[in-house]
Structure 1
Amino acid sequence: MKKTISIGIQGFSDLRERNCYFVDKTHFIKEWWESQDMVTLITRPRRFGKTLNMSMLECFFSNKYANRADLFAGLSIWKEEKYRQLQGTYPVLFLSFASVKAGNLEEAKAQVKGEIARVYRENKYLIDTDIFDNRERERYDNVVVSMDDVTAQDSLRNLAEWMEKYYGKKVIIFLDEYDTPMQEAYIQGYWDEFTSFVRSLFNATFKTNPYLERAIMTGITRVSKESIFSDLNNLRVVTTTSDLYADCFGFTEEEVFAALDEYEMSDKKDEVKQWYDGFTFGEYRDIYNPWSITNYLKEKKLRAYWAATSSNGLVSRLIRTASVDVKEKMEDLLKGQEIVVNFDEQIVYNQLDQDENAIWSLLLASGYLKADQVEYRGMLNKPWYHLTITNLETESMFENMFAGWFKNQDANYNDFVKAMLKGSLKEMNIYMNDVALTTFSSFDTGRRPSRKTQPERFYHGFVLGLLADLRERYQIRSNRESGYGRYDVMLMPLNQQDKAIVIEFKVHEPDEESSLQDTVQSALDQIKEKNYDAELLAQGISADRICHYGFAFEGKKVLIGEVNNI
C-alpha cells in the first residue's frame, strides 16, 4: 500500500507516526556523528529538508525520545547496533530562528529571546531538582522575553551547564534557519546592531561553552565569518559547493525515480527531470527539490511549487538595481547560456549594495543558479563559478520576476509591447512614457547614477521583461555585434508572420542636440550607418520585414521614432 504524501509536516516523529511518505536520510546521522566536528554550519536552499533533518537528529539523539525504536525501525541507521545503542541518550536543545522576521531591532531581539524562553519552558522540570540553589532558580526564572541582552546572550550556555549537571552528559544543540533574521536585519536596516547581539550569543553558546558536546546550524546562506562568527574558530562550514553531506539534503535521482515507480508515474520521469532536476551539491549531480517532488507526487501536475513559496524580494531588488553587466549576464542565463563569475560564497549582507558580485553568491546559495563547475585560477587560487539556471521551475521564477518589474498597477508595459508588435508609434510613445515614469526610479541604485547609466539600467531591465514576455515569438538579443557596431536590442522573429525589430537607445545631449527629436534621429541614423540589419539579413529576413526604433531619453521623458524599411 502506497504511503500518504503529506505536504508541510516538518516534524520527523509526526511523519513516522502517521506512516507518511519519507525518503530515508538517516545516513546523515552517521556521517555527521563520525565526522567529530564540534560545530557544523550547513547551508541549503529553502524547502530542502533542513528542518526535517534537524528534527530527525533531535529524535535520534534526544533523551526525550529514548526507547523510541519505532521511529527508526526499518531505516538505514537502525542496521548498526552501535547506533541503536546511541539513540535517545543525549540532552538536546533544538531552536529555530525561522520566524524571527521583525521590522526593527528591538522586535528582532525580542523574537530571539522568545525562542530561547520557549526552550527554557520546555526544560523547566530542571528547577525542581536538587542541582539548583535558590539563586540559580532565580536566574532560570529570569529568562523571559523581556530579559536584558546579556542575560539572553548567556542563556543557552547556562542551560547547557544545568543540563550537563543533571544528566551527566554534555549537550547537543541544533539551531535551524540561523540566517533568517540576518536577511531581515539587512532589509530593514538594523544589520550592525543585530549582528553585534547575535555574535555575542553565538560566542557564548558555541565557542566558550564547555558543556557543549556538538552543534549544527542550518540556513540558506553562509553569512560571513566577520559578521557573526568572528570568534568561532571551531566552525565547519558546508555549503552547496562542498562534497560533505551532498546527498543528505534533497532527493537523488534514484530516490525520485523510485517514488515515481511506486506512485505509478514511471512515464513522467523525463518531464519531472526537466522541471525539477538540476541542483548540484559538491560533486553530486542530479539533486531534486524535495518540496516540488512531494507536491508533484500528490497533485500529479507540473507546477512551480518551490518557486512559488517565496517572494524573492531581495533577489529582485538586487538584480533590478544592478549594473548593465549584471543584467546582461541575466540575459545570457535566460537564453540557456553559462556565465563564469568570481565571488566569495560568504555573504556580507551590509555590503550587498557595494559588491555586485554578491548577487551571484546569493542566487547560488538560494538554489536559483547551479554551479556546473568551480575552477581555481591564478596564484591565489580564486574560485570562478560556471553558473546556469537550475531548471525549468527556477527559470519560470526569473521570468515572473522580470515581467513583474513593469506590471504594477500604474505601468502599461503590456500595452506598450502590444503597441510595438502592431507598429503603432503613437501608442508606443504614450505607453513607454508611462512605463518610464512609474518604473525608472526602480532602476536607480542610489550610487550617483548618471543621466546615461540610469537609462542603460532601465533598458536592460526592459530587455529582461521582453525575454519574459516574448521569448516564445522572438529570439531576443541585446548589446551584440552586427554590421559595424553593437546594437542595443534586436528582436529576431521565430515565424514568418512577425517583423524583426531593431532598437537603439540614446540619452539626449543638450550640447549636441537641440531637441529629443534630434536624439531620436541620431539613434535611427546609427542603426543605418552601423548596418545593424546585417545579422537579420544573414538569417534570410528581408529588409521589408525589419523595423527600426530610436528611443531618446531626457530624465524620465521618452520619445520614440521609427523607420520602416517597406
Structure 2
Amino acid sequence: MKKIIPIGVSDFKKLIEGNYFFVDKSLIIKEFINNGADIILTPRPRRFGKTLNLSMLKYFFDIKMKQDFENNKLQNECEDLEQIDIEADNRPTDTRILFDNLNIEKEEDIMKLQGKYPTIFLTFKNEKYQCYEDFKDGITLLLSNLYKEHDYLLESDKLSVFDKEDYRSMISRNVSIAYLSNAISMLMGYMNKHYGKKVMLFIDEYDVPIQEAYIKGYYDEMISLIRTMLTSALKDNPYVQKALITGILRVAKESIFSGLNNLEVDTILGYNFNDKFGFTPEEVEELLDYYDASTELNNIREWYNGYVFREQIIYNPWSVLNYLKRRNEGFMPYWINSSSNDLIKKLLVKGDQYMKLELESLIEGKSITKGIDDNIVMSEVENSNENIWSFLLMSGYLKAVKTENIRGRLYCELKIPNEEVLIFYENLIEKWFLETLTNQKYELMLNTLITGDIKVFAGLFKDFVINNLSYFDVSGKEPERVYHAFVLGMLVSLSDNYKVKSNKESGYGRYDVMIIPKDTSKIGIIIEFKKIDDFLDDTIEEATRDALKQIEDKKYAQELIENGIKNIIKLAIVFKGKTVEVTM
C-alpha cells in the first residue's frame, strides 16, 4: 500500500507515524546547528514547508517529550528506581525513533543533541483579524495556550511563588499589555530555571499579522505590539540557545529586528537553506517515481517548477502534492487558489503605467531586470514600483532567473515562474476589466475592435476609459494607466487567436499597440495613442492627424504586411483631460 500524500500535514510526528510520504528535509537540522548565528530568519513563500520544518526542529530538540517518554516507559518496565537512572541514558526515545532512516541520522555529532534542549514552537499563521482589538485578543489566547502547553512548570520547585502567580495570570489571560509583550521572553526564563539550560526558539509565519494589519488598516497599533514581543524574546535575551524564524518577508526596517547583532537573514536570494524549503528536481523525480507519475514530469515542470532560490531550482511543494492527490482532475493552480492574494492584487492595481507596461512584458514570457531590496517595509510597499517588484519576488509571484551584486546592491532578472502563476496574473487582469465593464460590454468592446466596427468600439472604449480613470485612482492627466490596462486586457483575452504587441519596433519607429491575427484573412490593427495636456491649445483633431500621419510616415504597418495581413486598420486614440476620441 502506497504512503499517503501529505496535504496540509504540518506536524512532523503525525507525518512520520501516520504513514505519510516524507520528502526528507532533515538536514536542515544540521545546517541550523552549524550556522554561526544565534538567531536566523529564513523568509520563504507561503506553503513551501516552513511550518513542517519548524515542527521537525521542535521534535528533534525538545527535552520534555524525551523525558516524558523515558519516564513513562521505564516506570512501566522497571521496579527499581536506581535501574531507571541507569537505563535512561541508553534507551531510544520515541522522538529519537522519529528520525530513524532519515538523512540526519547519519550525522552522529548532530544526533547527540537530540532531545537535549527546552524548546518553544509558536506559529502566527492563523493570526488574521479585522481590527486591532480582535488581534490583541487573538495573540493573548495564542500565548495563553502556549503557557498551557508548558504548564508542568507550575509543579517545578525551581520557580518561585511569584513566578507561578504570573504564570497562572497568563494562562487565565488576565494580563496587561506589558506582560503580553514580554510573555515569550518570560516563558523562556521559566524554562531556563526549570531545566538549567538555554531554550531553542522556533517562530513560524511571524509576518502574517503584519500583512493582515496592513490590509485591514490597524497596522500602526499592531506593529508596536509585535515589535516589542519579538524584540524582548530575541534581543539580548540570555535564555536563547538558538532561534529560527520564518515568514514571507524580512521587514527588517520595521525595527522588529533592529539591534540584533547575532541575527542572520537568509532570503531566497541567499545560498544558505536554499534547498530546505520547497522540492528540488531530484526530490520531485523520486516523488513521481514512487507514485507512478514519472510520465507527468514535463507538465509538472511547466506548471509548478520555475522557482530559483539562489541557483537552486525549486518546485512548489503544495501544488505538486495536490496534483498527485487529484491527478484525475488535471493541472490546476492549487497554490494560487490556496489564498485570497488580496495584498498582491492591491499592489498590482495601484501600480503606475510603467509597472503595467512591464507586466505586459512578463505576461508575454519576457523578463525584466530590477534592483531588489529584501528589506521590505510594509508601510511603504506601495510607494514605489521597486518595492512592489521586491514584494512579488519574495512572495513567490516572480522568480529571479539571474542575480547580480553591483556595488553592494542586488539586481535580479525577473520572470513569471510557471503556468500556475501566469494564470493568476491573467485572472487579475480580466477582473480589472470586469469590474469596470460588464462581461457582455467587455467582450463586445474587444469583438467590435477586431471585426472593424470602430464606431461601436469607440463608444464602448469611452465608457471603459471613464470607469478606469476612477478605478485606477488617477486623473485624466494620466491616461497611460488606462492605456496599459487596456493592452493587458487584450494580451489575456485575445491570446488564442491574436498576438498583441505594445511599444515594439516596426518600420522606422515604435508603435503603441499592434494586434496581429494568427489567421491572415482577419483584420490587423495598429493603434497610436496621443495625450494632450489640458493647458495646451492643441485640438483633438490636430492630434488625431498627427497620430495617423505618424503611423504612415513611420511605416508601422510593415510588420503586419510581412506577416501576410492585407486588411489593416489604423487607429488614433487621443486623450485630452477626460475626453477621448477614436478615429480610424
TM over 0.5: yes
Q: How does 1:101-500 map to 2 (within 5 A)?
A: 101-143=128-170, 145=173, 147-285=175-313, 287-300=314-327, 301-377=330-406, 380-408=407-435, 410-411=437-438, 412-444=441-473, 449=474, 451-452=476-477, 454-500=478-524
2: distance between equivalents of 1:133 and 1:311? 47
**Which ranges of structure 2 fall in alignment gaps of 5 or more residues?**
67-92
- How many Å separate the matches in 2 of 1:513 and 1:82? 81
Equivalent residues of 2:520, 2:564 under 8 A apart? no
Q: Deviations over 1:259-278 (max 9, x none)?
A: 11111122111221122111
Is the contact between residue 320 and residue 461 of structure 1 (CA under 8 Å) also seen in structure 2?
no
Report the 3-state secondary structure (helix = DSSP H, G, I; strand = E; otherwise coil) of the residue aligned with 2:515: strand
Query: Contact 1:517–1:559 (CA<8 Å) still a contact in 2?
Result: no
In the alignment, the residues of structure 1 paired with residue 269 and residue 518 of structure 2 have an alpha-carbon distance, to the nearest angstrom, of: 38
Distance 2:173 2:528 in 1: 59
Q: Does the CA contact (< 8 Å) of 1:39 and 1:214 recur in 2?
A: yes
Structure 1 position 555, deviation (Å) = 4.9
CA gap of 1:369–1:509, structure 2 versus 1, over 3 A, is closer
SS, match of residue 501 in structure 2: strand
CA contact (8 A) 2:51 2:204 kept: yes
Range that drifts further, 151-160 or 5-14? 5-14
Alpha carbons 1:372, 1:388 under 8 Å: kept: yes
TM-score (norm 1): 0.92
Query: For each residue in 1:62-109, what CA deviation from the matched residue of structure 2 results, as whole angstroms up to 9, or x when unmatched?
Result: 124322233222211123444444222221111111112223333323
Q: Give the whole-Å Cα distance in 2 for the aligned partners of 1:264 and 1:324.
A: 47
Residue by residue over 1:497-549, the C-alpha shift from the partner in whole angstroms, topping out at 9 and shown as x without a partner, is 3321112223455666787666555544443344322332343433xx21122
**Structure 1 residues 296 and 177 mapped into 2: Cα distance closer, same or farther (>3 Å)?**
same
The one-letter code matched in structure 1 to 2:373 is D
1:409 positional shift: 7.6
Cα distance in 1, alignment partners of residues 215 and 577 from structure 2: 28
For 2:296, give the aligned amino acid. Answer: K
The amino acid across from 1:129 in the alignment is: S
Pair 1:510–1:306, CA change in 2 (3 A): closer
Give the AA of the match of 2:116. Answer: T
Structure 2 counterpart of 1:548, which letter? K
Secondary structure, aligned partner of 1:535: helix
**What is the aligned partner in structure 1 of residue 69 from structure 2?**
none
For the residues of structure 1 that align with 2:378 and 2:324, how far apart are their CA atoms? 37
Root mean square deviation, CA, Å: 2.2
Q: Percent identity?
A: 40
Question: Secondary structure at the residue paired with 1:65?
Answer: helix
- For residue 228 of structure 1, give the secondary structure of its aligned residue in structure 2: coil
Aligned counterpart, 2:26: 26
1:148 CA displacement: 2.4
Structure with the greater alpha carbon radius of gyration = 2
Instruction: Tell me the alpha carbon deviations over residues 384-440 of structure 1, each in whole angstroms, 9 at most, x when there is no partner.
Output: 111111112211221111222112385332331122222223432343233333332
Residue 226 of structure 1: how far off its partner (Å): 4.4
Q: Relative to 1, partners in 2 of residues 1:375 and 1:83: Cα closer, same or farther, differing over 3 Å? A: closer
> What corresponds to 1:541 in structure 2?
565
Q: Is the 8 A contact 2:46 2:248 kept in 1?
A: yes
- 2:70 corresponds in structure 1 to none
Relative to structure 1, the CA distance from residue 417 to residue 410 in structure 2 (aligned partners, 3 Å threshold; closer, same or farther) is: closer
**In 2: Cα distance, 1:488 partner to 1:409 partner:** 23
Shift of 1:235: 0.8
Kept in 2: contact 1:436–1:557 (CA 8 A): no
What residue is the counterpart of 2:11 in the other structure?
11
CA shift at 1:130, angstroms? Answer: 2.0
Query: Does the CA-based 8 Å contact 2:499-2:518 persist in structure 1?
Result: yes
Matched-pair contact (CA < 8 Å) for 2:399–2:417: yes
Identify the residue that residue 73 of structure 2 maps to in structure 1. Answer: none
Q: For 2:413, what is the secondary structure of its paired residue?
A: strand
2:140 is aligned with 1:90? no
Normalised by the length of structure 2, the TM-score is 0.89
Residue correspondences, number: 552
CA distance, structure 1, for counterparts of residue 378 and residue 522 of structure 2: 45
Corresponding residue of 1:561: 583
After superposing the two structures, state which structure 1 stretch, 93-102 or 76-85, moved more.
Answer: 76-85
Q: Distance in 1 between matches of 2:128 and 2:559?
A: 51
Q: What is the SS of the residue equivalent to 2:273?
A: coil
Q: CA, structure 1 residues 510+245, in 2 after alignment: closer, same or farther (shift >3 Å)?
A: closer
Closer, same or farther in 2 for the Cα pair 1:82/1:512, shift >3 Å? closer
Partner of 1:46: 46
Read off the aligned partner of 1:476 and give its amino acid letter: V
Aligned match of 1:77: 104
User: 1:539 is matched by which residue type in structure 2?
Assistant: N
The structure-2 alpha-carbon separation of the partners of 1:135 and 1:510, relative to structure 1 and needing over 3 Å to count, comes to closer
SS at match of 1:459: helix
Could you give the per-residue CA deviations for residues 466-503 of structure 1, whole angstroms, max 9, x where no partner exists? 11112222222112233444322111222223321112
3-state SS, counterpart of residue 357 of structure 2: helix
* Cα deviation digits, residues 427-473 of structure 1 (max 9, x gap): 323432333333322322xxxx5533x21011112211211112222
Following superposition, the deviation at residue 214 of structure 1 comes to 1.0
SS in 1 for 2:120: strand
Decide which moves more: 58-67 or 151-160.
Answer: 58-67
Structure 1 stretch displaced more, 53-62 or 426-435: 426-435
Code of the residue aligned with 1:108 in structure 2: it is F
